[in-house]
Structures are given as structure tokens and as C-alpha cells.
Structure 1
Amino acid sequence: MSPGGALASLKHFAPPVSEDLEARLARAERRVARERAARMEAEAIAEQGLRRLYESQQRLLLLQRITDGANQTTEIEAALRIAVTEICRHMDWAFGNALLASDQGQAVVGCDIWYAADPDTMFPFVEASRRTRFEKGVGLPGRILADVRPHWIDDVTADANFPRLNVAAHCGLAAACAFPVMVGDEVAGVLEFFARRLIVPDDDLLGIMGQIGTQLGRVIERDRARRGLIHDALHDAMTRLPNRTLFMERADDAFSRMKEHRKACMAVMVVDLDGFKAINDALGHQAGDALLIDVATRMQACIAAAQEAAREVGACWRATLARVGGDEFNVLVDDVDDIAAVGQLADTIHRCLAAPSVLAGNHIRCQASVGIAFSNAAYADVEQMLRDADLAMYRAKSHGRGQSVTFTDQLGTEVRQRTQIEQELRQAIVERQFVLHYQPIVFMDDPDGICGFEALIRWNHPVRGLLSPAEFIDVAEESGLILFIGDWVLREACAQAAAWHWRTGGERLPFVSINISPQQFLPPEFVGRVHAVLM
């Protein structure tokens, strides 16, 4: 054999392999395969764990962003907007919507807080959701309210209890989920979300959404507390009506609008209860408070009914009833296009107070005096209108119980004159500007025989001269100054009678007749004062 042939034979030579070696190789290959599979499984587990860790971190960051946003605001609307937007962007959901509980938890209503990844495409569904009301148990939000737990819908277009399914199908929405916003055990709101793909619930997502709901619930609690403080600051604690501060805010706004547009006018009423002090003194403050609450409730109901009736015939005026102190109420009537409506409203108030109130078994009838002032170009602010309405109210009170008076320029002139007279009377009392004239009283059978005198007061006014009682006694009685004037007359007339008695030596002593105002009999010490003057 040639050398070349020998080499060729060696190339194809394979040493004999024993069966034991083949078995060992097979086992090695199986071990390598198992190790490879184990390694791949370990890598898959590690990858899955890292993915879960990453998702968990991202959801924690989501919670952190929402929590930070919630802590930086006191308004629930702002916190809800942050939450809906962040959740939709994080989860890549097409639409999110926020709703708040209404009617003591019997319904939820959209509060116009929403997010849409594609607003143009989602517009029909946005309109069907953003302000929609859902009763308990109706639709996805209603189910949250009824069951107090999250809900998931795999296919909204196939859900029988989904009122918006046609719009959802039109917008290409498939799945939905919703979560409660809790304040204690109360569902205070609902967050609902929609996607174009299946939403798979998982424990981590449920946990995060539960924590988000809790954070938003705390914002609602803070918001309620803030709104409660504002409400209490602007409302009367007893009657729950607007107080003077809120009344003046609304009146000033109405006055500014009227000045700008000049298309309609406004009116203010001052309503003062007649005889309330006597009722309060006779039955006690508790009964007086109950009467005020009853009167406020009745007036508020009758004004609301009158306003609703006016709406039905095309009128647009609005009324605000406020308690401004004691037994006094104010009414603002805004956007008045027919001044007769204000007088009719005052009549309505009188009619609603005509029926008696039942207090501690007593039937108490409490009427009211109403003063009305209409806006005009002469008024610079609402305070001036209220001043004139107050003057009109006092004029109404002087006419008797249950009367209304509208302020006029003539009334203003008369009141200003009476106010000036009252101020001058006070000065006259201090400066002793009064004098007494004595009119003789004679016997009928002896005209020349004087038996006594009637003391008649005159006011020696420094500018207007000698004034008769007809020009100032009414003002003195209304202002209470008659007590001081009457006391002076009593002392002066008794001093004059004593002087006459001393001059005549006690023979045929004439008497002196003095006119006493009814108000002078009211103080319990009146008899003692007369006795002291005579002694």
C-alpha cells in the first residue's frame, strides 16, 4: 500500500466507543439541557420580578404624585383633576371621569372633571359623562355607590346595566373599571376609567386605587370643613339664612350690575317683626328663638314659591332673604323688571305671617312692618338704599301692625325734618329752652273766678321762635324724649304752684293741671317721682 492510501485510511478511522461512554454523554447532554432550562426559567422569573418591581415602583410614584397634589390643595375639584389625569396617563387608559355623591348618598353626579387621551374622538362620550347623574345601582358609578367596592366591566357594549353603551361603542371603548372615594364608611365620590382593551384587575392595582381613594377622601373632608367654615361665616346660626355679610355681598354685586346695564332695577326690603320684644319678654328667649326660626322658615318658603310662580310667567327677578340681627330681616330683590312685583312680594310676606305660630302651646300671631326702597340714579351704594328702606319701615310701623311703606322723596324729607327736630329737642332739654304758659280754668257759674290753671308747654326755639306742642310733641313721644320733657314740666309746674301758694298766703289756692304722656306712666317709678316732686 502506498503512503497516500495509508493516510486516507487514517482520516476515516473512528476509535471504537464503548456503551458506557455513550451513556455518560447522553446524561451530560440532558444535564446541560436541564441547566439551560433552569437558567432560562430563573432569568424569566428575575425578569418578571424586575418588571413587577418596576411596575410597583411606578405605581408608588403615581400614588406619591397624587398624594402630593392632594396635600397641596384644599379644593376637591383640583385633587380629583390631578388624580384622573395621572391615573389615565399612567395606565394608558382612554378616558377617566370623576363623580361626587349627591342627595345624601342616593346618587352620584359628574362634576365636569375628566381626562381624555384623544378629546376629539372621545367628545360624545365626554358629553354623556361629565355632568351625568347616576342613581344608586344604575350604571357603573351607581353600582359603586350601591356595593361600596370596585367594579370591572370586560365589555361595556354588552353590559345590560350600562346606559352609555351606544356612545361607548361609537367611541371604540371596550372595558371599564370604577373605584370608590371613601370618607369613613361613606362613598363620597367615584372615579371611573375606560380603555379600548381589556383591563385586567390585579391586587397591586386594587391596593393603589384604594389608597388613592383614601387620599382623595381626606381632601373631601378638608374641603367640607373649609366650606362649612365659610358657610357658617356667611349664615345666621339660628335660622340658617344668609347673614348681613352675605346679604351685603349679593346686594353690592346686584347694585354694580344694575349700574352697568341699567336695564332693570333692584329693591331692598327691611322687615321688622311687630311686638317681638313683648313676646320675647313674656314667653322667654327660648320661645322667642323658636318664633324667629318659624318666621324665617315661613318667609323663606313663601318667597321661594313666589319666585317660582314668577318664573312661570316670564319674570326673572331673584330674591335673597337674610336675617341681619334680632327680629330684623332684609330682602334683596334683584333684576326687577316690574316694580309692582316687589309690592306683591311684600303682600305675600304679610299673608304668610298671618297664621299664628304655636309656641309652647300658645298661638302667637307675629306680624311684620316692611319698608321698601327701589334703586335709582341718586343712590351711590346699597347702604343708602337700606337707610331709606329702614325709614320706610318705621313709617309703616307708625301706621299699625302688618303694614308696608315704599320710600319716597317726600317721606325722606319728612323723616329728615323729624330727625332734625329730635336732635334739636335733645339740645333744648340740655339748654332748658322750654317755657310753660298757664291757661286759666274758671268756674262755670262764675266766669271771673279762677279756680286753677292748665300748664301748657312751649318751645322757645332759638331760630324758629316760640313753637306750640303740635310741632314737636309727636317727635318727643316717638323718640322717648317725652320722659325728660314731661319730668321737667312736672317739676316746673309744681314749683310755680308752690310759688303762687306762698304769695296768696294759702287762701283760695288754685290748682295746676298738667298733661301727662302715656309713656310717662310706663316706668314703675313714676308714682314715686311725682310724690317726691310734690313733697
Structure 2
Amino acid sequence: MSLHQPQPLENCLEAIRYFFQNSEDAVIVFGQNYQILTTNIRAQALFINGFDVLTNSDSGVADQLVDPETSCPVLLLELLLQRVMAGEVVNDVELLLNLSDSAQDIWLSVSGFPITNDQDQIENGVVIIRDISDRRSQIAQQLQEAQRDLLTGLPNRSLLVEKISQAIAQLDRAPGAMVAVIYFDVERFKAISDTFGHIVGNGLLLQLVNRIQACLVQDDLAARIGRDEFVILLTSAQSQEQLLAIVEHLIAELSKPFTIDDHEISIRVKIGIDLSQSTNSDPEDLMANAGTAMSQAKQSSSEQYCIFNQDMRLGNGESLRLELDLRRAIRTGEMVLHYQPIVIIKSREIVGFEALVRWNHPVRGLLSPNYFIPIAEETGLIIPLGWWVLRESCRQLRLWRNRFPQNSKLFVSVNMSSQQFAPDDTVEMVQTILQEEGIEGKYLKIEITEGVLIAHSESIIKKLGQLREMGIQLSIDDFGTGYSSLSYLHQFPFDTLKLDRSFIEGADSDYEKLEIMQSVVRLAWNLGLEVVAEGIETQKHYAQLRGLRCELGQGYLFSRPLAQAAAEDLLLQSVNDNLLNP
């Protein structure tokens, strides 16, 4: 019998009934007055206590549907059915089903659509409900794992920044309270690990963590932010004297020998400290300052710890000269852009460039951002510099897109500072630049770091949403370094996650890094994010990322950042290669 031969109507109806009843999703059909006309087997199993939870607002109904955003009860009638019966198709509304006889909530994804008659009048509404608890549980587990160090179970840098931010926000609630950040690493740890082996090295770290935890009280927190780097967030000390007593106790405990597999190992730590009583403090600054103080302590043969002070930064005279030079450079056109290709990992086709600013200094030559960006941020010069970078990047992209129309995907990725997001006219500035340079928003990616989100967590969502409405893609940069928090992946409308080079480096020989990298890529898939891997330098890096099905990448394996002319030549070569090997 031909597959295309029409089947009797009763056979078709029987097949529809079979699929309806045996669907893995709960299916409920409602009438015009929102009465339930029919349900399938899965719906009856899911709503085992009855269907009143869907449409009955009577407080006597034991089960509840809950909005996960507000934790408030909702009625399916108000949330979805009225929209469906008005002719709207509703997709994937997530709700929690709170069953009175179960301690575990059920995550639901609810969709609905109307059914019309021959006169195009709405007669019924169909609601399809999928249990997504397993998927949500998997995402939650990945979120938790990605915020914890796999070896020690301590918070990693991402979670630490969140906790410091929360502690800073609490300062105005307790007069005299302070936040202290204590930074240290294990001197000669690499030599210890190389000499006694990886297992002994890990054992040392685990015992070290136990001693750190024993020195802290409940409100304090220790985090592992690197192979042998640790940061302690201390909020329990009420005075500098109490703080230093805790630090000295910590140093004394860590100075005692460790015994691992019959090896007696002694270590030495030098500690850097920064503290604040201001709610305007920045977590990144506190950590950076504590790191600077640690470096200062290491220069002393007698001091075991050092408290940060402003004199440890660039000397005032040199800082002022640098600021004046930078102002002149922005005004007179000494700033230039270099472009690092972003490629499709599978094919190595160039699909975009990251624009990176350089300073073509008349005396010192080409200077990297590490030299002048800190002073630009400190003085506010980062704002005019940032807008120049965005405008110049868009201008160059327009020229390349006009010259290489074959590369229809070509985009440019630009970093924006937190200070650029502070003014009210941020979105208008971006829109003006795009219009004046003749670039559609969909060809621009804006990269932001956690500093943007922390500094303006209340106002940033609206601005980011407006940028996305313009078609602009949003990317969270340096993911995994502490400049990006996993909670922000849900909270803010990102399209792309840039996997930091620290994940890539050593992943071919460090199983721990490889596991983290795999978890992050899986997490991005689950959240619907595109992944761009930075710092790809070797064929092993490339093979690993290709095996993980990471979409895009950049790094010295493909090309270092290039001046405009060299980048254009590389783009021409990529276009020609793609034409020859489509």
C-alpha cells in the first residue's frame, strides 16, 4: 500500500488519539469557558491531586503553581489561558508546581495555542505542559559545580567576587563594620608538586584548606582562585587589631609542617591585605590591591604580611605624566586598533575580529593596553577612548563588509568599560555611532566584564535589553577568571560566553582544567549561549575544543592581533580559501 494513499478518517482519528494519550507531555484541552474538556494520561499523572490548581483561586486548593521569578502563586487561567483564548500562541512559560504531598517542586514548561473552526472562530484552547525538572536540576548542578573548585570544594573566583559584592553591600547596615580581603599563594608549590608528584601536591592543598578553614569563623569565606592562590573574605573582624590577630594565627598554622604520604613538607606564605568600610568599594579593586600588597610583602625578608596603601600604586609624578600623555594621544590620533581574527573552529573560516586598542607612542613605540588602560579607567579617559574604539571599529567593519560581501557573517567585537555604561545616554551613543558609520546592530558584538554588572547591577539590565533590541549581540568576557559570575548568565541577556585563556592553557595536561572547560561548554549549550574560546595557541588546544564542539575561537594558533592592513590581507586569504573550498 502506498504511503501517500489516503487513509480512512477513523484510522487518522485513532492515530491522533493514540499520540494524544501516549504523549510524554501533559496535554489539556479547554473549552470557551475555560472548562477542561479532556486530558491525556500524562496530565492525569502530573496533576495527581486534580486540576483545580490550574484554574481555581480558592485558597482551599492544596497544590500551587508558582512563578519562579517572584515565588508568588499564579493561576494558569490568568497567566496563559486567557491569552490563548484571545488567539495568542504562547511558548515555554516556566512555572513551578508545588504539590502539597511532596517536598520537591516540579519545574514545568507550559505552552498553549487556540483551535479555530471553519469560520476562523476560536472554539478551544490546548495547553501542553512538559516536566523539565531533570533539565533544570542538571543546569543547577552545573552552575554549582562551575562556582566551586573541583579539588577543594572552595568557592572559585567567580563566586568569591559575588560574595565580596554582597559583603560590601552590607556595610551600611552595621556602623564600624569592615570587609577585608586576604590574598596569598604557596611559595615554591610548583617545585613541590614537580618533586613529589601531582597526588602529593593535591594532598598538600587539601590539608592547607583544612587549616585555613579552622582559622575562620562561620561568616568568613576562603576561595581558591588559582593553582596555589587563595583569597579569604573576612567580615568577622571588628577592628584592624582583630584582623591582624587572625592573619598572624593563619600564618602560624600554615607554617607548621604538613605530612602527606610519609613526606614532611613545609611551606611559606606571604600575605597581602586590603580592607574597606565603604559601600562604594569595588571587589576587583580590593582583590587587586591585596595582590599588590602580597607582592610588596614578598620583597621584604622580615615581613610576613602587608596591608595595602595607595603609595604602592604608580608614583604620583609618573601617573600624572602618563595621564597628560594619554589625553594628548587620544586627541592627536596616536591610538590605533589591532584586530584579532575570530574563526569557526570547525573550518577556521574568519567570521569576525576583536578590536584591541594600542598606543602608538612617539617615544616608547607601540604600547599594550596593560600600560595605559589602568590610568585611563582611574582618570575617566576610558570613556572618550572607549567611544573612539567603538566608532573606529564600526568604520573599519563597514569598509571590510563592502570589500568582502562574500563574507556575509563578518562582525566586530568591541570591549566596553563599566564607566561607559554609567551615563544615561549610553544606548543613544551606541545607536548614533552605528547610524553614522552605516553598520547594522547585528554585526556588532559588545563584550563586557563582570565589573559592568557589579557597578550598575540595577540599571544595566534595561540598557543591555535596549542594545539587544537594536540587534547587537552581548558577550561576557573573561569567563571563569572572576570577572564573570554564573548568576549573571541567567540575570542578564547574554548571547555569547568568552571562555578565558586560563581554561585553555594547560588543559591538555591538567585534567582538572579540562573537566572545568567541558562543564562550562555544556553549561553554555544548556543556556543557549554561543561559546568563543580565547587563547588557542597549540594544535592540542584546537583538537580539544573541536572535540568539545566549541563553535568559535581566537588565539595565536590562528593569528596574533594584527594592524589593519595585515588583518585585511588575512581576511582576503580566508575569503579566497572559502570560495575554493566551500
Q: TM-score range by the shorter chain?
A: 0.3 to 0.5
Q: Which has the larger radius of gyration?
A: 1
Using CA pairs under 8 Å that are at least 6 residues apart, name the structure with larger relative contact order, 1 or 2: 2
The structure with the largest helix share of the pair is 1
What is the TM-score with the length of structure 2 in the denominator?
0.33
